Structure 1
C-alpha cells in the first residue's frame, strides 16, 4: 500500500479529560469535511480553553461501535488538566484509562481510514482482542492540510 506506518506496540494511556467539539454526521462521508472544519475552529478558539495540557495536541476520540446516541460522533478536542468553564458551544469528554494498540502514521488525513486496516491486522496477528465499544483515540502532533503526524490508538484487551 505504501503508507508510512510504524507500530508502537501496546501502551496504557491514562485518563484523558478532553474539551472541544463533537461532530455528528448522518453518513460517514460527511466526517471527512466536518472534522477539518471543527479542528480549525478549535484551533482559533484554543485561547478560551482553561487548563490546557502542554504540549497541546489535537485529539480525536470516537467509538467504532456506539452503544447509545451519546456515543455517536467524533470528538475533536484538546486535553485539559481539569474541567472548568467550558467555552460556549464546546463539550467535555472523559476517556478512562485504557490499553491500546498504537500505530504511528505520517501522511494525509484522507489515508487514515486505510491505515486502520494495518493496525487491525497487527492486533489480530499478535493475539489481542479489539474493543470497538471503547474510546479510540487519534493523537495528532501535527495537523495541516497537506500532512498529519498521528498516533492511532485502538482499544484492546
Structure 2
C-alpha cells in the first residue's frame, strides 16, 4: 500500500449496493459545499435516532456524482446506511447506490482538505490503467468525524 502523508491508497474493491438515508445538499459553488456539508452532517447526527434500520450509526456516508447527468443527481448526500428504506424521516431522502467497482484512498485530516486529495486518487487510477466512471456515485465513508480531524475512505467508481 502506498502512503503519502495522511493518504493511503487501499486499491480497488467491489462496493456492494448501498441504501442510504439522509440529507441532500445543493449549493452554487464549492465554497457553499465546504460550509453546508459539515453543518448538515451535525444535523444528521442529531437526528440519526429517527432513522429506522441503521446498519452502523458511527459510519457517515457522503455521496455525489462527479458529472451530474440529471438534475436530481446534482448535489451531495450526507447519509447513514440502512438495511432497508422504512418511514424515511421528514426532510430526509433515500438514496440507492448500485454495486460498483471503486478505487479507494484512505485520508486522515480535516474535511476541508478532502477536495485537494482527490487528484492523488485520480492520478493513481490513471497510473494503474483504470478509467473513472464519473457518471456513477462517488462515496465518502467517514469512520471518524470531528471539528479537527476526519478519517474517510474516498471511493471513486472506475471501470
Relative to the length of structure 1, the TM-score reads: 0.97
1:67 positional shift: 0.1
Partner of 1:94: 96
- Alignment of 1:18 onto 2:20: yes
Q: Secondary structure at the residue paired with 1:45?
A: helix
- Give distance in 2, aligned partners of 1:115 and 1:38: 21
* Distance across 2 between alignment mates of 1:110 and 1:79: 23
Find the residue that maps to 2:91 and give its secondary structure: coil
Q: Which residue of 2 aligns with 1:76?
A: 78
Q: 1:55 deviation in Å?
A: 5.4
The answer for unaligned runs of 5 or more in structure 2 is: none
Separation in structure 1 between the aligned mates of residue 126 and residue 97 of structure 2, nearest angstrom: 24
RMSD, aligned α-carbons: 0.9
Return the offset for 1:56. 3.3
Tell me, which stretches of 5 or more residues in structure 1 are unaligned? none
Structure 1: 4+ residue segments shifted above 2 A: none
